[in-house]
Each structure stands twice: as C-alpha cells, then as structure tokens.
Structure 1
C-alpha cells in the first residue's frame, strides 16, 4: 500500500475505536508496515488536521493512539449528549493522586497519609477501573498493594506515568512514618511470639515438676 492509503487506514481505525489503539495492533492489522512508519503517518495526519483547523486530533495516551476532540468544544458535546459530568469526588481524587505518585502502596499507607479511612474510596476507584491490585506485601497479613491502570492514563489523557506533573510538596519522606510503623508492627509481633514461647516453656517445666 502507498503512503496515503496507509494514512487513511490508520485514520479509519482510530476514528471507529472507542479506546487507544497500540502500534502493535495497528501493525497486526496493516501487516507489512514498520512501527516507525506508523508514527510518521500519525504525525502527518495531525499536521493535516492542524493546518485545516480541525476540531479533533490524534493523541498518544495509555500506551496507544486515540482520535479525540479538542477540549474547547467539550461544552457543546456535553449539551448534545446531556450526560451529567463524570467527576470524581475530592476524597477520591486525593486518594487517586496519592496512589498515582506513590504506587505501589497499601491501604494503610494511604490512610496514614490522608488521616482517614479509605475503604469506600478504594472500592469506588476499583469499580471505575482507575486502580487495581499490583501484588501483596511480604509482611504479616500480606496487605494488598494498589496501583493505577491504563484506564487511569486514558481518563486523564496521559501517555504514561512519566507525564504526571511534578509535585515538589509530595516527597518520599511522606512514607517514612509508614515504613517505621510497619517495622514496629513486625518487631512487636516477633517479641509477642517470643514471649508466648517462653511462657509456654515455663508452664511445661512447672507441669513436669
């Protein structure tokens, strides 16, 4: 296929897709085409849209490419569909921000930073597929580790987590207290277990006498 045909095929695929399409997927569909060529074609398409003042463009988000309308036309589109704003609450946004910047981390980590219970908020974020389980901590109780998803990147129009704004006020030291708390818990459990063992041995000796 020639260059113009390849560009129109990419355009058609992205036009009908309701989620980002990866270069791998485009290559599988179009067969004999290199990833570098696909990027080049998408760049040319965007140049065409910009030069003709189109109300849409192709953006790289969440590990793929998606055709999106310009945000300045959002009010008119919302009026057409008359759908209530799909917004997160303040507590949900705060919790999501903590997870995005500090992931992976546990529910207890988040609660120590926020100072409130986050069970309900975590459930909401999981239902909306913005966060997911990333594993478990190798510690007593094996608490769940949470992290963000591709849907999170798509929701906020991010190419990757590297595109998150830099927050000077959100430092690694914020979790130092959490780490110390975890160490204290493990030490306490170890001491308690040792004391129980000593008591058991004392009772055995008394009974043997």
Structure 2
C-alpha cells in the first residue's frame, strides 16, 4: 500500500474511533508493518499541523488519537456548548502528582508523602478518570495500587510520562514495593 493510501486508512480509523488507537491495531487493519503505519500517522500529524487544520493527531505513548486543534477550542466549545472540566483542588493536584511520579502507588504511600488523609482526593481523581486501579500490593491487607490513565496524559498535553518535568525525589525516595499481582483489565 502506498504512503498516501496508508495515511487515508489511518485518518479514517482515528476519526471513527474517537479514542486512542494503538499503533499495532492500525498496522493490523492496514495489513502493513508497524513502522510503515507509524510513518504514515506521523506524516499525517505533520501535514495537519503544517496546514493549521482544525484537527490534530496526538501521540499518547503507543497510541494515537484524533482531536480538535487547541486553536479552535473556543469555537468548538461555543458550538457544542460543552462545559469546562471541573478544576482540580490543590489537594487533588498534590495527590495526582504523587501518583504520576511514584506510580504504582498505594493510598498509604500517598498519605505518607503528603502527610494527610487522601481518601477524598483519590476518589475524586478516580471519578475524573485521571487515575485508575492497577492491581493490589502483595502484603497483608492487599492495598490497591493506583496509576495515571491516558486521560491524564491528554488533560496535561503529554505524550508519555517521560515528559513529566524532573523533580527532586523525597529523601526516602520511591519505596521498593513488594511483589505485586496485576489484575487483568477488560
């Protein structure tokens, strides 16, 4: 399949999906090598950006998603009468920061770093789909482990967690967590 046809295939898949699509799925659907699919998606991303089109393609770790251009947000908001997502309180931002930098993290670990109860903030971040449960720690009580979600990356305009700014780790650093059992996600 030639490059322009592969770009058209990727564009159609991303438009129809409305959510992040892994590169492997695009390659499988187009019956091509993942490197070819990535080259086509990146070429499409560049062209949409260069032409200052109303849509963009975002890279989210190993997936891509089509979205409206940030420059067009006021028009999209007006046309669709969408509400702004609720703001995060300082406690929620602190909790989200701890999870983002030290994930997977238990609520007890979050509270150890913050020095206060974080149950409400963890619950609020789960409801906003910025964090998710990712298994349980293999210790007595089997506490839940939390990690950030693709919505977190999208909300903060990141392609991957590697783009988080460097921070000075706490003196006790990231604790060595005992062996964990990850739960299968559906």
Q: One fold, TM greater than 0.5?
A: yes
What displacement does 1:95 show?
0.9
Aligned position for 1:173: 171
Matched, 1:132 2:132: yes
User: Residues of 2 paired with 1:10 and 1:122: CA distance?
Assistant: 36
How high is the TM-score relative to the length of structure 1?
0.72
Deviations 1:64-110 (A, max 9, x none): 11122221221221122222211342222221111111112221221
In structure 2, distance between residues paired with 1:58 and 1:71: 11
Deviations 1:36-69 (A, max 9, x none): 1112112222332234232322221143111222
State the match for 1:40 in structure 2.
Answer: 39
Deviates more, 1:150-159 or 1:111-120: 150-159
1:76 aligns with 2:64: no
* Deviation for aligned residue 1:22: 1.0
Alignment partners' CA distance in 2, 1:46 and 1:131: 27
* Cα RMSD, aligned residues only: 2.4
Aligned pairs for 1:131-150 within 5 A: 131-150=131-150
Partner of 1:52: 51
Deviation at 1:161, TM superposition (A): 1.3
1:70–1:145 distance in 2 versus 1, CA, 3 Å: same
Q: Which moves more between the two structures, 136-145 or 76-85?
A: 136-145
Partner of 2:86: 87
TM-score normalised by structure 2 residue count: 0.80
Superposition deviation, residue 25 in structure 1: 0.8
Mapping of 1:8-27 within 5 angstroms? 8-27=8-27
Deviations 1:3-39 (A, max 9, x none): 22221111111122211111111122112x1111112
Aligned counterpart, 2:110: 110
Give the secondary structure class of the aligned counterpart of 1:173. coil
1:108-130 deviation line (CA, Å, top 9, x unaligned):
22123223221122112222332
- Could you tell me which residue of structure 2 aligns to residue 192 of structure 1? none
Partner of 2:163: 163
Q: Secondary structure at the match of 1:116?
A: coil
